[in-house]
Amino acid sequence: MYEKWLIYLDHAFIPFYRLVKDPVLAYFIGTFLLAVLCVVIGELLVGLAIYLNRHHVKKLTHDLIHWNNLAVEAVKKGDSDAYHTFNKEANDVYGKLFFLSIAHSAACLVPIPFVLAWMQMRFGTVEFPLPFTVPGLGSSVNYVFTFVVLYLPAYWLFKKIKGRLPLFRQIEAIVQDSGRAVHEMKSLADVLEKKIKEAQLRQKKAVQKV
C-alpha cells in the first residue's frame, strides 16, 4: 500500500522536475514548486480545521470571556474564593483554546512527510557538496536540507499573498471574529492598578493626618 502511494505521488510530482533540462536547476525548481504545493495544501488543511471547529472555538472564546470577567468582578468585590473558582474555570478554557490552536497550526505540516517520503525514493542518494564543512551537517547536504531551505521562502511568499485569495480571506475573517470577541474581556491589570492607586491615596491621607 505504501509503495502504491509513492507511485501515485511520483506521477503527480515528477513533472515539476522536468521543466528545464539542466538537472541541478530542475531539481531546485521542482523542489521549490513542491514546497509551494506543501504550503498551499497545508494552509488549506489549517483553514478547513478552523472552519470545521469555528462554532466550538466561538463557544470556548465566549466561555473564556465569561469566566475571566467574573474573576475580575470578584477581585473588585474582594471575594478571594470566588476569584480562585472563576479563574480556575478561565484557565481550563484557555488551555483548551491553546491546544486547539496548536492542533490547527500543526495541520499545515501534514503534507510534508508524504513529500519527504517521495523525495527519499527519488533523491535519497543525491547529495550536494558544501564549499566548507558545517558542524552537524558535514561537507554535503541531502534532499531534506534543500527542501527545508526552499520551504521557508515558499511559506513566506504565500503568507504575503494569502490575504488576497478569496478562500483564505474567509478563513481570516473567522479568526478575526474570534479576536474581536477577546476585546470584551475585562483586564485584571486595570483592577489591580486601581486598587494600588486607592491604597496609595489612603496611605497618603493617613500620612497627612499624622
Q: Which domain holds residue 141?
A: 2-209
DSSP state of 14: G
With a CB cutoff of 8 Å and minimum separation 6, the contacts of 104 are: 46, 49, 50, 53
What is the C-alpha separation between 83 and 75, in angstroms, rounded?
Answer: 6
33-55 pLDDT per residue, tens: 999 999 999 998 988 888 888 88
Residues of the chain with pLDDT under 70: 1-2, 133-138, 177-210
- Dihedral angle sign, alpha carbons of residues 18, 21, 27, 31: negative
The label of the residue with cell 474581556 reads 185
Number of domains into which the chain is organized? 1
pTM: 0.76
155-190 pLDDT per residue, tens: 999 988 887 877 778 777 777 766 665 556 666 556
Residue 36: helix, strand or coil by DSSP?
Answer: helix
